[in-house]
Amino acid sequence: MSRHTQKTAPDLTPSPAWHSAPALIQMAVCLFAPPDIADALLGDLEEELSLLPLAGRSRVAEFAWYTRQVTKSLVPLMKIRIARGELVASVALSQIAFVLPLLAIECLRSFLLSNIPLKDGAEMSSSFISMLVMLSAVFAMIGAFLLCSFRKSVDRLALLLFTAICLLYSSLGLLPLHSWKAGGVLLIVLLPAIAAGAWLWRKVEPTQNFSGEEFQ
Amino acid sequence: MLGEFEQIVLLALIRLADDAYGMTVRREIAERIGRDVSIGAVYATLDRLEKKGLLKSRTGDPTPERGGRAKRIFVITATGKKALQGAQAAFDRMREGVKLG
């Protein structure tokens, strides 16, 4: 192959009035992107955003540009995490973290009710279900937090365990949330909890990635 | 075998030399071929190519215009150059003697 011509670097002189990027959208990047990429990517966007006023764009246009860039980037970023096995692993262990305590609570409830005459098989009250959902969220957050420090082989083991537990759990009919509505509510509660757990871990251990390796 | 976008990204790295990071790669592609790719797509490709050993990355110094965040600078490896040459040669061989339109 012939030698390639070296292009002069583009003019990256920042505008003196560069604006800081929208915090909420930055958070979306942190949630979707692997931590080692998220930081560099946010820096790139911030740098490019600082150059936009030079082209005569308004702040609204800047915001629209930034939002469009992030929105278009979320799926590719998610693909990186799936390819690295981070996402599956995070969800897997956090699920184990909530399925096991939920199973224990349900077993305890059944045991207690079976010892009270005429109470066995009674419908669960809404407050009890709310408590289960809240506990699930807490355990999901802790699970996600713990998983982030685990290594890949352990992640795989966690995924296998999770699948086995879920199969056992559903086949025994122990899951108290039968309807799709209840499942939806649980999902809405759990996903932010998982994300919060992962975010907390990143705050505590910012120099490591999800496979436990130190950044370059 | 390298995909079309992977080849474009590797060529951008060679063009940008020591100044190849997410934003400059994205801008280079946009300026050269008029394709407005997302920064996420660029990073996904760079990550994949790094995993294949076709490029390597290092962390640069944080700068104020980047909000205090460091650059992740990418450099093509010898294996990457070889793979790119192979892909271009294969394309040339397939194109040989073919008349379009």
Nearest-Cα residue of chain A relative to residue B58: A216
Is B33 part of the contact surface with chain A (CB cutoff 8 Å)?
A: no
pLDDT at A18 over 50: no
Is B52 part of the contact surface with chain A (CB cutoff 8 Å)?
A: no
Residues of B in contact with A10 (CB under 8 A): 24, 27-28, 31
Of B17, B27, B57, the CB nearest to A10: B27
B101 to chain A, closest Cα gap in Å: 28
* Domain residue ranges of chain A, discontinuous segments joined by +: 23-83, 85-204
Instruction: Evaluate whether A80 touches B44 at the Cβ level (below 8 Å).
Output: yes
Is B23 part of the contact surface with chain A (CB cutoff 8 Å)?
A: yes
The DSSP annotation for chain A comes to: -PPPPPPPPP--PPPTTPPPPPHHHHHHHHHHS-HHHHHHHHHHHHHHHHHGGGGT--HHHHHHHHHHHHHHHHHHHHHHHHHHTHHHHHHHHHHHHHHHHHHHHHHHHHHHHHTSTTTTTPPPPHHHHHHHHHHHHHHHHHHHHHHTTS-HHHHHHHHHHHHHHHHHHHHTT--S--SHHHHHHHHHHHHHHHHHHHHHHHHH-TTB-TTSPBP-
Is B32 part of the contact surface with chain A (CB cutoff 8 Å)?
A: no
Is B69 part of the contact surface with chain A (CB cutoff 8 Å)?
A: yes
Q: Please judge whether A9 and B24 are an interchain contact, meaning their C-beta atoms are less than 8 angstroms apart.
A: yes
Which pLDDT does position B39 carry in this prediction?
94
- Beta-strand pair B55-63/B69-76: antiparallel
pLDDT at A46 over 50: yes
Mean pLDDT of all residues in A155-160: 56
B77 to chain A, closest Cα gap in Å: 15
Nearest-Cα residue of chain A relative to residue B87: A1
Is A23 part of the contact surface with chain B (CB cutoff 8 Å)?
A: no
CA dihedral B79, B85, B88, B92 (to 10 degrees): -150
pTM of the model: 0.59
Q: From CA A167, how far away is CA A162, in angstroms rounded?
A: 9
Q: Please judge whether A47 and B63 are an interchain contact, meaning their C-beta atoms are less than 8 angstroms apart.
A: yes
B36 to chain A, closest Cα gap in Å: 10
Of B19, B57, B67, the CB nearest to A46: B67
pLDDT at A216 over 50: no
pLDDT over 90 for what percent of chain A? Answer: 3
pLDDT at A107 over 50: yes
At CB < 8 A and 24+ separation, what contacts does A175-184 make?
Answer: A175/A102, A176/A102, A176/A106, A176/A124, A176/A129, A176/A132, A177/A129, A182/A129
Nearest-Cα residue of chain B relative to residue A5: B15
Which pLDDT does position B20 carry in this prediction?
95
Task: Sketch out chain B's domains with CATH numbers.
Answer: 4-95 (1.10.10.10)
pLDDT at A15 over 50: no
CA angle centred on A200, ends A195 and A204, rounded to 5°:
150
pLDDT at A214 over 80: no
